[in-house]
Amino acid sequence: MTDRRWTLAHGRHLDLGGKAQVMGVLNVTPDSFSDGGRYDALDRALAQAERMLAEGAVIVDVGGESTRPGADPVTAAEEQQRILPIIEALAGRDCLISVDTYREETARLAVSAGAHIVNDVWGLQRDPAIARLAAETGAGLVIMHTGREREKLSDVIADQFAFLQKSLEIAEKAGVAREAIVLDPGFGFAKDAEENLQLMARFSELVAFGYPLMAGTSRKRFIGHVTGRDAGERAAGTAATSVILRLQGADLFRVHDVAINVDALAVADAMLARQQPAVES
């Protein structure tokens, strides 16, 4: 896989492609589906961030509102109150910081506080002003696919292209640099177990977009459907999906359990490095 430089805010960058990169999930919420309430105090959140970085994460993704189905919405002020102190504290450390939000106001304050990346689970289609913010600040932008609040196409890949092409048009019109964009197919977001498995099996078709790809399968319900395990017991299943998706072209992996995924991806990368292109006769 060829390295592609992902340009980020505050003059930072991350090379994607040649080595799998891991984004650690830091939910500072009381109600996230697998770790709600565990890291909603500043000291515990920072300790978890340090733990994930020590285990090999290169990005800490800070979120202040649960995205699980049926979660209670929070106000922008509440979201900001939860995440900004953590982002400010992490900004003094040598790590990359992502903010998981779909609100332009929150994203702008987070980037100002030190965040390098905006991770938008609504793919710019809930608040398109996030695209303008990314263009103005140079922030890296994760554009995620979702099936929520709309009618999906029956084919999982066709629906990816229909939704994400619209998102990319929003980004282009706002002036977001191509080098700032990573796409995320949104495993688990209004997708049932069969759709998630189909998406995983056909993930390589998304390489046609020409952008780096992020996979966010961590502890998702479809892994529980396959393994029969509860959310907190899905680390091994998640690592299996990470390897499968790495072999199909994923560059970046958003996970709760960093160490097991870093190790699994290291093995996948070692194999990929030894694959030789076919020699033409």
Q: 191, 219, 220, 234: which is the annotated catalytic residue?
A: 220
**pLDDT confidence of residue 72:** 76
- Tell me, yes or no, if 166 is annotated catalytic: no
**pLDDT confidence of residue 189:** 96
DSSP label at residue 230? -
Task: Annotate 133-167 with b (16+ C-beta within 10 A) or e (fewer).
Answer: bbbebbbbbbbbbbbeeeebeeebbebbbebbeeb
| Long-range contact set of residues 39-44: C-beta below 8 Å, sequence gap at least 24 | 40/82, 42/85, 42/86, 42/89
Q: What is the dihedral of CA 241, 16, 123, 59, to 10 degrees?
A: 80
Task: Give bridge partners of residue 26 from the DSSP assignment.
Answer: 62
CB-based contact 106:80 (threshold 8 Å): yes
- Tell me, yes or no, if 220 is annotated catalytic: yes
CA distance 111 to 254: 19
**pLDDT confidence of residue 73:** 80
What pLDDT tens digit does each residue of the chain (281 aa) get? 678 999 999 999 999 999 999 999 999 987 444 544 566 688 999 999 999 999 999 999 999 998 766 667 889 999 999 999 999 999 988 899 999 999 999 999 999 999 999 999 999 999 999 999 999 999 999 999 999 999 999 999 999 999 999 999 999 999 999 999 999 999 999 999 999 999 999 999 999 999 999 999 999 999 999 999 999 999 999 999 999 999 999 999 999 999 999 999 999 999 999 986 654 44
**pLDDT confidence of residue 36:** 46
Residue 230 sits at the vertex; the CA angle it makes with 225 and 232, to the nearest 5 degrees, is 130
- Which of 3.20.20.190, 3.90.600.10, 3.40.50.20, 3.20.20.20 would CATH assign to domain 4-273? 3.20.20.20
Residue 141 sits at the vertex; the CA angle it makes with 215 and 261, to the nearest 5 degrees, is 25
**pLDDT confidence of residue 40:** 65
Q: Which residues contact 85 (CB under 8 A, 6 or more apart)?
A: 42
DSSP three-state, residue 277: coil
Q: 82, 103, 219, 254: which is the annotated catalytic residue?
A: 254
User: What's the burial of 50, exposed, middle or buried (CB within 10 Å: 0-12/13-18/19+)?
Assistant: middle
Could you tell me which of 101, 95, 59 has the C-alpha nearest to residue 81? 101
**pLDDT confidence of residue 30:** 75
